[in-house]
DNA sequence: TAATATTGGTAACTCGTTTTAGCAAAACGT
DNA sequence: ACGTTTTGCTAAAACGAGTTACCAATATTA
């Protein structure tokens, strides 16, 4: 017994009215006079038949899909390894739900022919896009934007007109490094969060450099190491530091996820944190405070990042309000134990 | 200059053929003879106009949306806090992409009127559903299944016909506890991963109990504590243990995420792991091996769980092959340092 | 040469909605 | 009693594809 879904026609027949009337009643269409009696009949018929309007049909006539795309500009394995992402998603999906939008989530690495961003939008699978972690020169995004696609960026891009919801990575990094300097550290190493093709990585490195130079230290490339968003890369980078002649007294690791691997490497070598070396992270992933020792870091308002991006996008879609300014959210220095300025027993 | 999307009609006009022909060419419809010359003309016109068929229109005529729903039966904050989820999602989304399906992700707590599961399917937003973490008696899922909705479960439910992709939680818990027993522990406490309304929690507790009893110990409720998927709940549970008269020498914590908080509580109290107390986790979240000390745990093949669920679902959708048996994947005991059977310097 | 088969294509219907335009019947005003 | 408004509803036209059924023109066969 294949229960076919009931259509508006079925409801109309059951209620003894026309499809038009059914549509008016169910959508509470303004300016249409329907007697209370018919309204009831329609409502009851719809209820009885368990009627739900077909999304595709509505989509076609409305010219909207009521679906938002959340796209990560990374390989799937890295995208899904990002521990901050779920919080961003939660922010987006909260707003989306509120406005009755759904969310398609998808990692779309740059230059991925078949699953390209463009396809997602041009096939009209989504009404608009939130793109996280664009490359600094992401031509596909620029093209899409110029083709009138509603896009909100999460991250900076070398193109002025596309608005973005982001943090000030440079300033935040400065804050972190300044704290280490204030604790008396003179040799501070740096491990990047990702390849410098990403603007966030570049900006965090710049912040590190500026803080050093502002304090009168020389920027030394021998103290700069690279991660690629994964704990393993942090482990590797730490190995490199330990085997190098760098001998820093503190390390600013521009990603808590990467720091995880670095801390593991230190643990294996019986190097104590913060007694032997001070560690400062970045991101404040949800578990940083649970590490041993709890990780000092820069808090990113991940949920708010998602929340704001979704809000701007939906405003754009519903009221044609194209955001004019970037939305830059505040970060916060979180001092825990890994950088040595506070002790367990405080 | 509002660049409207090109339609099949536009392509037809540009190529000087009918819409029908455009459709035949672009879909490589079998059994339809098209001269090489017209084929080329159509292809070029489509290319030139940057034509992409409208998803909603295609969806309507095909009766399929080519979207899969991945639904978590939890409150959003808990759903997004699950550190194993991204891996499951990666498995699903990999398969989905391969078959040109998209993925709508959504936490839908039980008894959520407006965003109910039912709506998602009956409005035909999705072709089928993967439901993670159903309640043991999840009536909405049963109803939906009986209305012929393609559903694959991830977790057990008290209803025999709906097929699921899962692990054997009971056996896995037994394995974990047996290991602790084999190390000589006699007082082993238990912290649950979540409320016992969830079958996974219940099964893990059962496994703990059986292992104890099989070894000749008595099951003691004073040694059983509860988490709710969050590190904070693990922190709290550990506080309770430390303040109780339980005094276990080992604790089996049925979730690494919960264990994170528990470890934090121990760290604060200067209780060493594994010297003072042995800890065994469950899940093998990606960062368990990076903790200090690295956490012994039960490995869950999260990616494969997602991969298999998506495969079964798509087989169902594409070939009407309704899976007949549950798919139970293997778990593995991962011995690291937190349970004390192996030392750092090995 | 006439009957038949093949090639290359199209007109028209379908999917399930929303929305515009219009039309009877009832209520109202003078 | 006759025109005008209001009330309550519907027919029909979109939306943009896929698909069925059919039709010319050309090629093949008897």
| Whether B106 and A93 lie within 8 Å, measured CB to CB | yes
The average pLDDT across B143-157 equals: 93
Nucleotide closest in space to B18 (CA vs C1'): C10
Contact predicate A229/A78, CB 8 Å:
yes
Residue pairs spanning A and B at CB distance below 8 A: 149
Please name the residue of chain B whose CA is at the shortest distance from the CA of residue A5: B122
pLDDT at residue B179 greater than cutoff 80: yes
Distance from C-alpha of B81 to C-alpha of B230, rounded to nearest angstrom: 7
If one compares A175 and B292, the residue with the highest pLDDT of the two is A175
CA angle A304, A310, A312 (to 5 degrees): 100
Task: Domains for chain A: give ranges and CATH numbers.
Answer: 8-53 (1.10.260.40), 67-165+303-321 (3.40.50.2300), 169-300 (3.40.50.2300)
B20 CA to D22 C1' in angstroms comes to 14
* Among candidates B93, B119, B260 on the partner chain, residue whose Cβ is nearest the Cβ of A106: B93
Closest CA to A316 of A172, A86, A162: A162
Which residue do the tokens 């491990």 mark? Answer: A191
Chain B residues in contact with A93 (beta carbon < 8 A): 76, 105-107
Provide the token pair at A250. Answer: 């503190």
Contact predicate B302/B91, CB 8 Å:
yes
Contact predicate A126/A104, CB 8 Å:
yes
Phi and psi dihedrals of A105, rounded to 5?
A: -105, 135
Backbone region of residue A104 per phi and psi (left: phi > 0; alpha: psi in -120 to 50; beta: other values)? beta
Average pLDDT, chain A: 93
Please name the residue of chain A whose CA is at the shortest distance from the CA of residue B81: A86
> Secondary structure of chain B in the HEC alphabet?
CCCCCCCHHHHHHHHCCCHHHHHHHHHCCCCCCCCHHHHHHHHHHHHHHCCCCCHHHHHHHHCCCCEEEEEECCCHHHHHHCCCHHHHHHHHHHHHHHCCCEEEEEECCCCCCCCCHHHHHHCCCCCEEEEECCECCCHHHHHHHHCCCCEEEECCCCCCCCCEEEECHHHHHHHHHHHHHHCCCCCEEEECCCCCCEHHHHHHHHHHHHHHHHCCCCCCHHHEECCCCCHHHHHHHHHHHHHCCCCCCEEEECCHHHHHHHHHHHHHCCCCCCCCCEEECCECCCCHHHCCCCCEEEECCHHHHHHHHHHHHHHHHHHCCCCCCCEEECCEEECCCCCCCCCCCC
Burial label for A299, CB within 10 Å (0-12, 13-18, 19+), is: middle
Q: Given the DSSP bridges, would you call strands B297-299 and B128-132 parallel, antiparallel or unpaired? A: unpaired
3-class DSSP state of A90: helix
Q: Kindly determine whether the C-beta of residue A60 is less than 7 Å away from any atom of nucleic acid strand C.
A: yes
* Among candidates A81, A97, A148 on the partner chain, residue whose Cβ is nearest the Cβ of B2: A148
How many angstroms separate the CA of residue A124 from the nearest CA in chain B?
A: 6
Phi and psi dihedrals of B277, rounded to 5?
A: -155, 140
Best mutation target among A7, A56, A269, A279 (most B Cβ atoms within 10 Å) is: A56
Q: Which of residues 60-99 of B touch strand C (CB under 7 A)?
A: 60-61, 63
3-class DSSP state of A150: coil
Distance from C-alpha of A203 to C-alpha of A114, rounded to nearest angstrom: 31
A27 CA to C18 C1' in angstroms comes to 10
* Among candidates B57, B289, B291 on the partner chain, residue whose Cβ is nearest the Cβ of A60: B57
Closest CA to A17 of A5, A29, A28, A25: A25
Please name the residue of chain B whose CA is at the shortest distance from the CA of residue A125: B55
3-class DSSP state of B88: helix
pLDDT at residue B115, rounded to an integer: 72
A220's CB contacts (< 8 A; 6+ apart) are: none
Please name the residue of chain A whose CA is at the shortest distance from the CA of residue B125: A55
pLDDT at residue A111, rounded to an integer: 79
B342: confidence class by pLDDT, cuts 50, 70, 90: low
How many angstroms separate the CA of residue A236 from the nearest CA in chain B?
A: 13
How many angstroms separate the CA of residue A60 from the nearest CA in chain B?
A: 6
* Among candidates A65, A291, A294 on the partner chain, residue whose Cβ is nearest the Cβ of B56: A65
B1: confidence class by pLDDT, cuts 50, 70, 90: very low
pLDDT at residue A233, rounded to an integer: 95
B27 CA to D30 C1' in angstroms comes to 39
The average pLDDT across B41-61 equals: 96
pLDDT at residue B345 greater than cutoff 60: no
- Give per-residue pLDDT as tens, A53-99: 999 999 999 999 999 999 999 999 989 988 999 999 999 999 999 99
A101 CA to D14 C1' in angstroms comes to 24
Closest CA to B285 of B193, B190, B156, B179: B193
Residue at minimum CA to C1' distance from nucleotide C9? B21
CA angle A9, A13, A15 (to 5 degrees): 115
Best mutation target among B290, B302, B336, B343 (most A Cβ atoms within 10 Å) is: B290
Chain A residues in contact with B46 (beta carbon < 8 A): none
Contact predicate B227/B192, CB 8 Å:
yes
Please name the residue of chain B whose CA is at the shortest distance from the CA of residue A81: B86
Provide the token pair at A332. Answer: 């916060």
Of how many residues is chain B composed?
346
H or E element that contains A151? strand A151-154
Which residue do the tokens 């001070």 mark? Answer: A278
B303's CB contacts (< 8 A; 6+ apart) are: B87, B88, B90, B91
A21 CA to D21 C1' in angstroms comes to 35
Distance from C-alpha of A205 to C-alpha of A197, rounded to nearest angstrom: 12
3-class DSSP state of A104: strand
Helices H, strands E: what count in chain A? 13, 12
- Give per-residue pLDDT as tens, B232-284: 999 999 999 999 998 999 999 999 999 999 999 999 999 999 999 999 999 99
Please name the residue of chain B whose CA is at the shortest distance from the CA of residue A144: B3
Distance from C-alpha of A275 to C-alpha of A292, rounded to nearest angstrom: 13
Chain B residues in contact with A71 (beta carbon < 8 A): none
pLDDT at residue B343 greater than cutoff 90: no
Distance from C-alpha of A225 to C-alpha of A190, rounded to nearest angstrom: 6
CA angle B222, B227, B232 (to 5 degrees): 120
Chain B residues in contact with A257 (beta carbon < 8 A): 287
Provide the token pair at A327. Answer: 């939305």
Q: Which nucleotides of D are covered by protein (CB under 7 A)?
A: 7-12, 14-21
Phi and psi dihedrals of A343, rounded to 5?
A: -110, 155
A30: confidence class by pLDDT, cuts 50, 70, 90: confident
* Among candidates B104, B263, B344 on the partner chain, residue whose Cβ is nearest the Cβ of A292: B263
A1 CA to C10 C1' in angstroms comes to 38
How many angstroms separate the CA of residue A222 from the nearest CA in chain B?
A: 26
pLDDT at residue B98, rounded to an integer: 94
| Whether B93 and A76 lie within 8 Å, measured CB to CB | yes
B144 CA to C25 C1' in angstroms comes to 45
Distance from C-alpha of B91 to C-alpha of B68, rounded to nearest angstrom: 13
Provide the token pair at A41. Answer: 């009949």
Phi and psi dihedrals of A69, rounded to 5?
A: -105, 130
Distance from C-alpha of A92 to C-alpha of A117, rounded to nearest angstrom: 18
Percent of chain B scoring above 70 in pLDDT: 97
Bridge partners (DSSP) of residue B299 are: B283, B332
How many angstroms separate the CA of residue B213 from the nearest CA in chain A?
A: 33
pLDDT at residue B4, rounded to an integer: 80
Distance from C-alpha of B116 to C-alpha of B110, rounded to nearest angstrom: 8
Distance from C-alpha of B142 to C-alpha of B148, rounded to nearest angstrom: 10
How many angstroms separate the CA of residue A34 from the nearest CA in chain B?
A: 25
Distance from C-alpha of B323 to C-alpha of B315, rounded to nearest angstrom: 9
Which residue do the tokens 């006079």 mark? Answer: A33
| Whether B105 and A93 lie within 8 Å, measured CB to CB | yes
B200's CB contacts (< 8 A; 6+ apart) are: B133, B155, B156, B169, B193, B194
- Give per-residue pLDDT as tens, B63-100: 999 999 999 999 999 899 889 999 999 999 999 999 99
A6 CA to D8 C1' in angstroms comes to 25
CA angle A307, A310, A311 (to 5 degrees): 85
Q: Which nucleotides of C are covered by protein (CB under 7 A)?
A: 7-12, 14-21
Distance from C-alpha of A167 to C-alpha of B229, rounded to nearest angstrom: 30
B137: confidence class by pLDDT, cuts 50, 70, 90: confident
């Amino acid at each position: 017994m294949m229960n076919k879904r009931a259509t508006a026609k079925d409801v109309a027949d059951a209620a003894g009215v026309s499809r038009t009337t059914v549509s008016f009643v169910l959508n509470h269409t303004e300016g249409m006079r329907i007697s209370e009696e018919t309204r009831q009949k329609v409502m009851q018929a719809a209820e009885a038949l368990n009627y739900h309007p077909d999304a595709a049909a509505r989509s076609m006539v409305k010219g909207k899909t009521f679906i938002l795309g959340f796209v990560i500009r990374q390989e799937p394995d890295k995208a899904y390894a990002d521990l901050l992402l779920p919080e961003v998603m939660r922010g987006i999906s909260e707003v989306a739900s509120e406005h009755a939008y759904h969310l398609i989530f998808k990692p779309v690495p740059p230059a991925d022919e078949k699953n390209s961003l463009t396809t997602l939008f041009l096939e009209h699978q989504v009404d608009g896009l939130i793109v996280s972690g664009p490359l600094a020169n992401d031509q596909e995004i620029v093209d899409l934007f110029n083709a009138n696609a509603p896009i909100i960026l999460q991250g900076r891009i070398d193109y002025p007109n596309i608005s973005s919801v982001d943090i000030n990575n440079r300033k935040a990094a400065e804050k972190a490094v300044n704290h280490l300097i204030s604790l008396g550290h003179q040799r501070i190493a740096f491990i990047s969060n990702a390849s410098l093709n990403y603007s966030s990585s570049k900006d965090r490195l710049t912040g590190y450099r500026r803080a050093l130079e502002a304090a009168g230290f020389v920027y030394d490339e021998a103290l700069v190491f690279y991660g690629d968003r994964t704990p393993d890369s942090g482990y590797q980078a730490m190995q490199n530091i330990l085997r190098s002649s760098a001998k820093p007294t503190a390390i600013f690791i521009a990603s808590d996820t990467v720091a995880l691997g670095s801390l593991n490497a230190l643990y294996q070598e019986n190097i104590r944190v913060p007694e032997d070396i001070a560690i400062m992270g970045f991101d404040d992933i949800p578990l940083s405070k649970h590490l041993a020792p709890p990780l000092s870091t820069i808090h990113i308002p991940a949920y708010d990042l998602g929340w704001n991006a979704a809000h701007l996008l939906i405003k754009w879609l519903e009221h044609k309000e194209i955001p004019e300014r970037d939305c830059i959210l505040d970060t916060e220095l979180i001092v825990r134990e890994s950088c040595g300025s506070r002790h367990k027993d405080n």
